[in-house]
Amino acid sequence: MLSVVTWGQNNSTYYGEVMFGKVAKHRDGLLYKVPPVSMIFQAGKVTQTDGSKPWHNYWGFPRLEQSVHFNVFGETDVLGYAIGAAPGVGFYMFRGDRSSLLLHLATGLAYLTREFNPLTNPSNNAIGSNFNNTTQIKLSYETPIIKTLSLDIGFGLTHYSNGLNSSPNSGINVIGFHFGIKPTIANRKVPKGSIAQPLTISKNWGINGYVSYGLSEHRITGGPKYPIKNYTLGIFYQSHSFIKWHAGLDYDYALVFYEFAIRDFQSEEDANGKATSTAAYAAIEGVFGNLSVRCQVGYYLEIFYDRQESLPYSKFNFIYNIPYEIYEVRPFVGLLLKTHVAVADYVALQVGIEW
C-alpha cells in the first residue's frame, strides 16, 4: 500500500492509498479462478482523538476513520469491481516513544459489479447480489524515518458478503500487504490529561429490548426472499460509562422453514416449530458516544417446540443511540448480522429501547 497523506487542522487528515493483494478462497467448491493480483485504491479522512470526549481516554485515544475504496479484483468478467464506503476506528495496540502499532476496524456498504448468474456468470458462485457489506481489518506499524515523515507497513483483509440476503453468499476476501510513507502524526503520543469531564453513571442496571426484521434467500439462488423476525429482551449491567454487559432471551421466527415444512406435508404445529428458535444470550457492548458496537453469543434452548440447532450463534450489532430520553427511556436503531461460526444467517434492521 502506497500512501499519500496530508494533515490538516483539528487533528484531521485526508489520505489516499493503494493496496496490492490477492483474492483468497476460503472454502471448497468456489468456481472462479483466483486472479494473479488484486488492487484496492482507497481514500478517506482520519481524525486523531484528543480527549475532548470522555470515551477518547477510555479507548486509548483511537483514530476515527472514514474511507471509500475501489477494488480491482483482477478478473473483470467474473469478479468485476467493487466500490465501497466504510467508517471505522484505529486502535493503538502499542504506543512507544517513536513507534506505534494500530489495529484498524471498519465496516460499511459496497457495490459489486459482477454477481452470480446461472446463465451469464456461473463461475462467480461466491456472491449473489450487487449490494453487500464490506468489512476491513488492518494491522499497521508506524515509525518515523525523519522528523516529518513516518514509515507505515502492515497487512490487511477486505471482505464482501450479503448476510444470505441473496444466495449464494460464500463471500469474497482480499488479503494484502501495505507499505507507505506519510507525514508523522504530531499528536500521536498520549495526551497528559483529558479535556472532558468523566461521565457519571446514573444507574448501573437496566432493561434492553429490540425487534428486528431481515430477509433471506436461504441458499435457493433466484428464489423468494423470506422474512425473518427477531425479538430480543434482556437486562444489562453498565460497569463503566463505555462498557455494558447484557444477558437475556432471543427469539427468531424464520418463514422459510415454515414454508418448507408445509410443502413437505408436515403439520401446522411442526411447521411453526421448525420456524422457531429460542436462545439464551450474553453480550458485551462498547459505546463510542452515540454509536455502539454489541457482540452477542447465544445458545439455543428448547423452551417451545423449537427446531434443533447444534451450534451456538453470534450476533454483531451496529447501533445508533438516539440522543433523546423520555422518562429515562432511550430509543436506538441499528443493523445486525447473525452468523453460525463463519456462515451468515441474515442481516436485519433493528429498533429498540433501553431503560
Fold match between domain 2-183 and domain 205-354: yes
CB 226 within 8 A of CB 254: yes
Q: What is the pLDDT of residues 168-224, one digit of tens each?
A: 777 888 999 887 776 666 555 555 554 444 545 556 889 999 999 887 765 555 556
**What mean pLDDT, rounded, does the chain reach?**
81
User: Any idea which fold 205-354 has?
Assistant: Porin (2.40.160)
> By C-alpha distance, which of 56, 71, 60 is closest to 103?
60
pLDDT digits (tens, 9 = 90+) for 84-132: 999 888 998 888 777 889 999 998 899 999 988 888 988 888 888 888 8
Helices (H), 7-100: 54-58
C-alpha cell at 13: 487528515
Domain boundaries, the chain: 2-183, 205-354
**What are the grid coordinates assigned to 108, written together?**
460499511
pLDDT for 187 equals 53
The C-alpha angle with vertex 42 and arms to 37 and 43, in degrees rounded to 5, equals 165
Quick: pLDDT tens for 225-251. Answer: 778 888 999 999 988 777 899 999 998
Enumerate helices (H) and strands (E) in the chain, giving the number of each.
3, 17
pTM of the model: 0.74
DSSP 62: P
Architecture of domain 2-183 in this structure? Beta Barrel (2.40)
Count of CB atoms situated within 10 Å of the CB of 128: 23
Q: 64-98 burial by CB neighbour count: b if 16+ within 10 A, else e?
A: bbbbebebbbbbeebbbebebebebbbebeeeeee
